[in-house]
Structure 1
Amino acid sequence: MTLLALGINHRTANIAVREQVAFTPAQLETALSELRCVPQVQEAAVLSTCNRTELYCVTGPSGERQILDWLSRFHGLSQDQLSACAYHYLDGDAARHLMRVAVGLDSMVLGEPQILGQLKEAYQAARRVSGLGGELERLFQHTFAVAKQVRTRTGIGQNPVSVAYAAVSLASRIFDDFSRSRALLIGAGETIELVARHLREAGVRNMIVANRTRERAELLAREFSAEAISLNEIPEALARSDIVISSTAAPLPILGKGMAERALKKRRHRPIFMVDIAVPRDIEPEVGDLDDVFLYTVDDLNEVIDENRRHRQVAADQAESLIEHGVSAWQHERRIRGGGELIRRYRDQASALREHSERQALARLARGEDPEEVVRLLAHQLTNRLLHRPTVALREASGSERRDLLSAAEALLLDSTSTKS
């Protein structure tokens, strides 16, 4: 079986494609169950964030083609569309990719800390639907251990910079005095909580938190002395807001062009700065066509993120080194497990031959045959049966000049042979 990592990310696909391939929380359990039923798939986990959708699977020989076909059908896309922006990694390369993702080396924001939590959520989701077997279970546990080592032994997690921070940093380039601005935050998850924290540190005192569940909005709002509203109250709040930052898991846009036009009219066309961090997008792209709206998506944060990457490059190089050690250790353990499986199969085969010979010998003894002759025959038959297949293989290897197999056979069959009684 093969370990496969298949996916798209912010480097290979723009946001329009990523939002089509993203799995919403409501879809995830169904998707995992369906993926697990693909004929060649034995184990499966799905990681879906604003910047990537990745499938980690243990598959058979034609597994990749079947998985790509399933992914295209699930999201209603053609295989050609997906193939144009998809990447895949096998075995050791797949393990290396997962570890790089876990420590933030493959993130838009180098070293961003949120991805590890998202990966742990993906692991738990796969466990809930029995998507993990021994191979992926061990890989994820090993990956989490490597990520912890990277975080504690390098500076990649110091002064953490996230997409949330990048969004607030971009806003600070437009507003000279944050203290006079009111921010509308749509969503109440971890990303919006980080946004609220960064806005407060930057000087924003007036914030509104809008969420589908008002109770969750109130919980977050209390922490930042903000106003809590439900999603259907956004139109009125939008007219009072200078900054809008949105990050929800909604499958369809929450804020449309008509809503923005009405808010701008009430504001007498005072401009609004908007950042849509969500994938799929929360704000209709057409909103950005309005003269008094400055709309940015997660793909527009690259300048802030590049600055972060330069500062963290030394730590990233150290992290790469630790990951290489982690991949080597995982491959070594995997080879040992593979050897253990071979040993088990060989011992099972030898046991079956022994039991067969034993039954024949006991039957002869029951018929009253000479015990000494029965023992001699048992030893002769057992020796021939155990040596038959290795002998045939050695002859074929000699005829094909397979010196690698002959050398291995010599080390395995002769060097450890003992004639001691």
Structure 2
Amino acid sequence: MLLCLTASHRTHDFATLEQLTGGTGPELVETLLAGDGIAGNIVLSTCNRFEIYLDADSSALDAVQRCRGPLRLLRGEEAARHLFAVTAGLESVVIGEPEIAGQVRRALNHGERTGSATPLLQRVFSDALATRRAVRESTGLGAARPSLIRLALDLASHRITDWTGVKVLLVGTGRYATACLEALRDRGVSAITVWSPSGRGQEFCARHGLHAVSGHAVAAAASLSDVIVCCTTSPELVITPELFAGTCPVTAHSAAQCPVGHPGTDERHRVVIDLGLPRNVDPLVSEVAGIELLDLEAIKLHAPLQHLAVADDAEALVRRAAAAHAEDAGPIGPAVAALRAHVSDALEAELARVRRRYDADSADKAEAALRHFAGVLLHGPSVRARELASSGRRDEFLDGLHAVFGIERPA
């Protein structure tokens, strides 16, 4: 059966989510996998949620219940419906935000690379991604590119009236940093400096035409910035009050223009945006004179209400698509699994050939494209199989599998 253990911004506070992403979550995964009856798993960990999807038999259910910790347990169609809603952006802080679909796809790809994604998990994740595309095409949800960083910049606009003159320190160089950079440039920001706590800033900056700082230069860059955006995956606090404790370096700015407040001068207000989970910014930073901190909790309080009609239409699509997973352990499940195994075997053979003929980077790109194509290809037959089974026409699907692919009827 499909199981989902979930904690998100809708059901848990951010302190609990921070603990899960910071260490207790991976430990919980290890505990679960040490038990019997767990065939596979995929972990979805983002700035607003920590979720474990399991392919488990009924013998594992009691053990999962006992050691699930603070996570809620969903099973079967309810678990599928939840994943589909998450992937469509219906469970996000900003309804319809597009980043979550990429995070779901990367979680699936990781499970496939490591071998933890069983056919059942591959099927439900592929169907979730296909449903997300259907939701976007049918309702337009997600087409406007709402996201946490864009909402945070909207909130910061009560302090900043002209973004074209703003100096920004971007902390982080991962995938989300790219989304943050895009959102900043859309507002006309050009003076962007990058700090990578992991030391990988040079490659990111070369790719995007930016300047990187490190070491002692970080404090100087922070003192000259009007906005600091933190989106690094570092488990440690990287922005602390100590970063702002020194005086401003000698620059062309006058004392009154110095971003850090000093006695006898006018304070210049600035904004620190923390998109990290675990958090990147020490909450005590908000006590530094002239600094406003926008963290995930503050951003969530100001998240706009979704367009109700669009969300209702999207949720209806999600419910219909998830219904196909109501009886994954039923009579049609093994036949669908056999089809997916058939395609998976052909895919792995082709990937082996690709890796023999091409360099590692080209092979990785080809693998991502081929795995995506395989998921899209299998989505239709998977849904059709359940439709036929529910209308009493299971034998038609089984006969078709044998006639077209030579797949024998599952026992």
Same fold at TM > 0.5: yes
SS of equivalent to 2:245: helix
Relative distance call for 1:182 and 1:289 in structure 2 (3 A) is same
Q: Is the 8 A contact 2:223 2:260 kept in 1?
A: no
Q: How far 1:113 sits from its partner (Å)?
A: 0.9
Q: Is the 8 A contact 2:46 2:277 kept in 1?
A: yes
- For residues 223 and 258 of structure 1, the distance between their equivalents in structure 2, rounded to whole angstroms, comes to 31
Q: Is the 8 A contact 1:99 1:147 kept in 2?
A: yes
Match of 1:294 in 2: 292
- Greater alpha carbon shift after TM alignment, 258-267 vs 184-193: 258-267
- For residues 73 and 52 of structure 2, the distance between their equivalents in structure 1, rounded to whole angstroms, comes to 9
SS of equivalent to 2:237: coil
Q: How far 1:283 sits from its partner (Å)?
A: 0.8
Match of 1:179 in 2: 164
Match of 2:316 in 1: 321
- For residues 100 and 18 of structure 2, the distance between their equivalents in structure 1, rounded to whole angstroms, comes to 18
Relative distance call for 1:66 and 1:205 in structure 2 (3 A) is same
Q: Does 1:145 align with 2:130?
A: yes
Higher relative helix content: 1
Relative distance call for 1:121 and 1:240 in structure 2 (3 A) is same
Q: Which structure is higher in RCO with an 8 Å CA cutoff and minimum separation 6?
A: 2
Match of 2:231 in 1: 247
SS of equivalent to 1:320: helix
Relative distance call for 1:339 and 1:34 in structure 2 (3 A) is closer
Q: Would you say how many aligned residue pairs link Structure 1 and Structure 2?
A: 321
Q: State percent identity of aligned pairs.
A: 26
Match of 1:58 in 2: 55
- For residues 174 and 247 of structure 2, the distance between their equivalents in structure 1, rounded to whole angstroms, comes to 25
SS of equivalent to 2:234: coil
Q: How far 1:47 sits from its partner (Å)?
A: 0.5
Q: Does 1:134 align with 2:133?
A: no
Offset from partner CA, 1:73-102 (integer Å, 9 cap, x none): xxxxxx4xx2xxx32211110010011111
- For residues 165 and 247 of structure 2, the distance between their equivalents in structure 1, rounded to whole angstroms, comes to 19
When Rg is computed on C-alpha atoms for both structures, the one with the higher figure is 1
Match of 1:91 in 2: 76
Query: Which residue among 23, 34, 38 is the counterpart of 1:37?
Result: 34
Match of 1:260 in 2: 244
Relative distance call for 1:4 and 1:167 in structure 2 (3 A) is same
SS of equivalent to 2:82: helix
SS of equivalent to 2:225: coil
Q: How far 1:31 sits from its partner (Å)?
A: 7.3
Match of 1:357 in 2: none
Relative distance call for 1:117 and 1:231 in structure 2 (3 A) is farther
Offset from partner CA, 1:93-137 (integer Å, 9 cap, x none): 001001111111111111111111111111122223322222212
SS of equivalent to 1:46: strand
- For residues 31 and 182 of structure 1, the distance between their equivalents in structure 2, rounded to whole angstroms, comes to 42
SS of equivalent to 1:305: coil
Q: Which amino acid aligns with 2:51?
A: E
Q: Which runs of 5+ in 2 are unaligned?
A: 250-257, 262-267, 337-411
Q: Is the 8 A contact 2:168 2:191 kept in 1?
A: yes
- For residues 40 and 102 of structure 1, the distance between their equivalents in structure 2, rounded to whole angstroms, comes to 27
- TM score, norm. by length of structure 2: 0.71
Relative distance call for 1:243 and 1:183 in structure 2 (3 A) is same
Q: Which runs of 5+ in 1 are unaligned?
A: 72-78, 342-421
Match of 1:163 in 2: 148
- For residues 56 and 107 of structure 1, the distance between their equivalents in structure 2, rounded to whole angstroms, comes to 18
Q: Is the 8 A contact 1:288 1:295 kept in 2?
A: yes
Q: How far 1:303 sits from its partner (Å)?
A: 5.4
- For residues 340 and 302 of structure 1, the distance between their equivalents in structure 2, rounded to whole angstroms, comes to 44
Please report the RMSD computed on the Cα atoms of aligned residues, expressed in angstroms. Answer: 2.8
Q: Is the 8 A contact 1:99 1:143 kept in 2?
A: yes
Q: Is the 8 A contact 1:32 1:126 kept in 2?
A: no
- For residues 158 and 78 of structure 2, the distance between their equivalents in structure 1, rounded to whole angstroms, comes to 40
